[in-house]
Amino acid sequence: MAGDSIKAGAAAEPHIIVRNLTMAYGSFVVMRDLNFTVRKGDIFIIMGGSGCGKSTLLRHLIGLNEPARGEILYGDFNFTGADPVQRELLLRRFGILYQGGALWSSMTLAENVGLPLGEFTDLTPAQIREIAALKLAFVGLKGFEDYYPSQISGGMQKRAGLARAIALDPEVLFFDEPSAGLDPISSRLLDDLILEMRNSLGATIVVVTHELASIFTIGNNSIFLDADSRTMTASGDPKELLAHCTNPTVHRFLTRGAQEKELGKDGQAS
Amino acid sequence: MTDANPNTQRELLSLERGADSTLTIRLLGKWHLNRALPAAGLVNSELSATPAPRRVAFDASQLGGWDSGLVSFLEGVSELCRTRGIAADRSGLPAGVQRLLALAEAVPEKQGARSGEVRAPFFARVGNATIDYVRAAGEVMAFVGDLSRATVGLVTGRARFRRIDLLENIQNCGANAVGIVTLISFLVGVILAFMGAVQLQQFGAAIYVADLVGIGMLREMGAMMTAIIMSGRTGAAFAAQLGTMKVTQETDALTTMGISPLEFLVLPRVIALVLMMPLLCLYSDFMGILGGAFVGVAMLGLSFTSYMRETIHAISLSNLFIGLVKATVYGGLIAMAGCLRGFQCGNSSSAVGDAATRAVVSSIVLVVIACGVFAFLTNVLGI
């Protein structure tokens, strides 16, 4: 089921191109000189230690933060500094799953999924509800249409968030820490869903995660952000990185620090 | 069970200077966090004595029990030894303690991780505060500008929000506020009547309490009291709602979907409050007059009919309209302050609380300033 052999239609066509990107909050530089390309149909992993700027990079890719330097291109379209109207049109072709699901708490699941449909299509309310129910069924939430986000569990909220993200059949799907806070089985189910989305919708997928199991199961391309040097120190297929990467930080990350000596764990006193 | 007796502290520890300039720290009894434990400083005087010891050793043979209190003490002693270049021999410590100390020292302190507690000089602080104010003013301007544009969009039918949100907000800040408005306005009417009655009774002009309460409620107090209730009730709620939505990334989810949070979240709230404030104010005026009448009938011996007749005689439509216009303006100010503070909210649950507090403070300040402006304008215009 590992999806490295399956590539959607136009394999090597670049979809997202990041050039010399520097991200900063005020004068504090988070990451500098990021250069990478995400091809169409890739499942692209942004990995790195906690707090190194993975989510910040994601926020830049979807236009919530502006780059301090450099640019982001979607195909031929220069996203950085583009006209707001053009940008909004592009944003509609994205689906984004936020860390906590970010469902609108005053709306039911069906309304959450249906909102983008109602805003950007000419469907009738009945059709919208039908499609919303279908998208919820995709993520295993059939019958939960009229629940409010507060009435379902965290894992279900994430899946409902995914249903909302795929409401408009997006070309690019972004996932921010999809498995954070989920048990191993739920997180595995979510991985399967991500693979399914790529294979069936042909979407390009960008995932921010530090979950090793997910990285190797779903990723076929990746970059590693290093907190100390404040830039990317590796890129490529995570499985190949594991086999060949010589950078000690990357290797330690991908092997859960296996080469580091074990510290004593029995420090409990009586 | 806390025991701050210094004798106990000394009982836990004895220092012994050996012949070969070795300082032996003997640990005695039970070292537990819930007792008063000695600080590493106790050893300091012995370490800095001349001639300085060249080696520190530990003797834990009489140690009764320990937890991280002991480890913290030993870490402090090790730190002192390091700065003085004294060797610390830990072999006399229990194995668990040695491992915990190794764990604490495994990762060296990150350079710059300790935030510098340097207090900026006075002028730098004044300068920074000024820059912050200017930036905040810019944010307010941008918010008001965006909101104006969204309102124009609303008029031309391009603004996007759900009708159900508007209705829910109308219910929340209209119908649901009636109870508290009733109570406060009635009491304010009573208070006004009392204040007037004390003075007016001296002249035998108690009936003019009706004039005082009627005009006072209509022109000033109705709008003002409603505004203060709504600042605390609705302004704070708006800030908390939008702040929470920001923390949970719900506003981000709207933005990246190409839906403006300003249209979708702020417009229905502002519209609801602007629509409901004059209605609540009208109701508050009425309740205030009833409160005055209650005092008039119960305390001043006036009949209800004569009180009402005097009220009708005293008040004019212009009084009523001035109050209603004020209430509408106050409503806009409160809703905008609440929503702006919500959007400025930081990324934590305590920031949501701060946002709610700031919303209430801002809206009450704005309402009072607006009240002053109205007083000046009505005076200049002679109405």
| pLDDT tens-digit readout, B111-122 | 666 665 567 889
Confidence of residue B106 (pLDDT cuts 50, 70, 90): confident
Highest mean pLDDT among B12-16, B19-23, B246-250: B246-250
Tokens of B276: 């409901």
Same domain, residue pair A132 and A240:
no
Contacts A98 to B, Cβ<8 Å: 249, 252-253
Query: Among all chains, which residue has been given the structure tokens 């009084």?
Result: B319
Flag whether pLDDT at A2 surpasses 60.
no
Q: Are residues B253 and A120, on separate chains, in Cβ contact within 8 Å?
A: no
B166 vs A185: which has the higher pLDDT: B166
Short-list B111, B156, A123, CA closest to A135 = A123
Tokens of A233: 């120190």
Best mutation target among A58, A79, A106, A266 (most B Cβ atoms within 10 Å) is A106
Q: What is the pLDDT of residue B7?
A: 53
Identify the three-state secondary structure at position A55: helix
Residue range of the domain that includes A152:
100-169
Q: Tell me what ipTM this predicted complex has.
A: 0.82
Same domain, residue pair A196 and A233:
yes
Same domain, residue pair A28 and A154:
no
Tokens of B157: 């039918």
Contacts A92 to B, Cβ<8 Å: 257-258
Q: Are residues B253 and A99, on separate chains, in Cβ contact within 8 Å?
A: no
- From A102's Cα to the closest Cα of chain B, the distance in A is 5
Starting at the edge strand found earlier in the chain, the sheet holding A28-39 runs A28-39, A14-25, A69-74, A77-78
Q: What is the pLDDT of residues A26-46, one digit of tens each?
A: 888 899 899 999 998 899 999
Q: Are residues A119 and B160, on separate chains, in Cβ contact within 8 Å?
A: yes
Mean pLDDT of A128-140: 91
Same domain, residue pair A58 and A132:
no
Query: Which residues lie across from B15 on neighbouring strands?
Result: B25
Contacts A266 to B, Cβ<8 Å: 96, 99
Q: What is the domain-level CATH number for residue A243?
A: 3.40.50.300
| Other C-beta atoms lying within 10 Å of the C-beta of residue B39 | 13
Q: What is the pLDDT of residue A9?
A: 43
What does the alpha-carbon distance between residue B58 and residue B53 come to, in Å, rounded to a whole number? 13
Flag whether pLDDT at B8 surpasses 80.
no
A30 and A43 Cβ atoms separated by less than 8 Å: no
SS (HEC) of B182-218: HHHHHHHHHHHHHHHHHHHHHCCCHHHHHHHHHHHHH
Q: What is the pLDDT of residues B141-190, one digit of tens each?
A: 999 999 998 888 888 877 788 888 999 999 999 999 999 999 999 999 99
A6 and A58 Cβ atoms separated by less than 8 Å: no
The answer to whether the bond into A170 is cis (omega within 30° of 0) is: no
Mean pLDDT of A209-227: 89
A23 and A56 Cβ atoms separated by less than 8 Å: yes
Determine the length of chain A. Answer: 270
Q: What is the pLDDT of residues B199-217, one digit of tens each?
A: 998 998 899 999 999 999 9
Confidence of residue B347 (pLDDT cuts 50, 70, 90): confident
Q: Which long-range contacts (CB under 8 A, 24 or more apart) does A183-190 make?
A: A183/A155, A184/A213, A186/A155, A187/A211, A187/A213, A187/A214, A188/A213, A188/A217, A189/A140, A190/A155, A190/A158, A190/A159, A190/A162
Contacts B259 to A, Cβ<8 Å: 115, 119
Amino acid at B100: L
Mean pLDDT of B349-363: 94
CATH 3.40.1160.10 corresponds to the domain B6-106:
no
Flag whether pLDDT at A264 surpasses 60.
no
- Give ∠ CA A74-A78-A80 in degrees, rounded to 5: 110
Instruction: Give the one of B96, B106, B249 whose C-beta lies nearest to A266's C-beta.
Output: B96
Flag whether pLDDT at B198 surpasses 50.
yes
- pLDDT above 70 coverage of chain B, percent: 95
What does the alpha-carbon distance between residue B144 and residue B275 come to, in Å, rounded to a whole number? 19
What does the alpha-carbon distance between residue B252 and residue B339 come to, in Å, rounded to a whole number? 16
Tokens of A31: 């990451």
Query: Which residues lie across from B238 on neighbouring strands?
Result: none
Flag whether pLDDT at A267 surpasses 60.
no
Query: Among all chains, which residue has been given the structure tokens 């952000």?
Result: A225
Flag whether pLDDT at B298 surpasses 80.
yes
Same domain, residue pair A82 and A148:
no
Same domain, residue pair A233 and A217:
yes
Same domain, residue pair A136 and A161:
yes
Q: Is A268 part of any domain? A: no
- pLDDT above 90 coverage of chain A, percent: 36
Tokens of A69: 């330097």
Contacts B258 to A, Cβ<8 Å: 88-89, 91-92, 119-120
In whole angstroms, how far apart are CA A3 and each of A163, A204, B78, B170, B209? 21, 13, 53, 51, 84
Flag whether pLDDT at A10 surpasses 50.
no
Confidence of residue A8 (pLDDT cuts 50, 70, 90): very low
Same domain, residue pair A68 and A190:
yes
Determine the length of chain B. Answer: 383
B234 and B359 Cβ atoms separated by less than 8 Å: no
Query: What's B15's DSSP letter?
Result: E
Query: Which residues lie across from B27 on neighbouring strands?
Result: B13
Same domain, residue pair A223 and A180:
yes
Same domain, residue pair A180 and A247:
yes
B362 vs B42: which has the higher pLDDT: B362
Q: Is A269 part of any domain? A: no
Q: What is the pLDDT of residue A268?
A: 41
Q: Are residues B253 and A105, on separate chains, in Cβ contact within 8 Å?
A: no
- Give ∠ CA B224-B229-B231 in degrees, rounded to 5: 90
B107 vs B219: which has the higher pLDDT: B219
Same domain, residue pair A249 and A232:
yes
Q: What is the pLDDT of residues B66-105, one digit of tens each?
A: 888 888 888 888 888 888 888 888 888 888 888 888 888 8
In whole angstroms, how far apart are CA A66 and each of A57, A69, A92, A152? 10, 9, 18, 34
Best mutation target among B256, B265, B352 (most A Cβ atoms within 10 Å) is B256
Q: What is the pLDDT of residue B112?
A: 63
The beta strand positions in chain A, using DSSP E, are 14-25, 28-39, 43-48, 69-74, 77-78, 94-97, 172-176, 204-208, 221-226, 231-235
Flag whether pLDDT at B276 surpasses 90.
yes
pTM beyond 0.90: the answer is no
Same domain, residue pair A152 and A218:
no
Instruction: Give the one of B102, B165, B249 whose C-beta lies nearest to A102's C-beta.
Output: B249
Contacts A150 to B, Cβ<8 Å: none
Domains in chain B: boundaries: 6-106, 137-381
What does the alpha-carbon distance between residue A205 and residue B207 come to, in Å, rounded to a whole number? 78
Q: Is A264 part of any domain? A: no
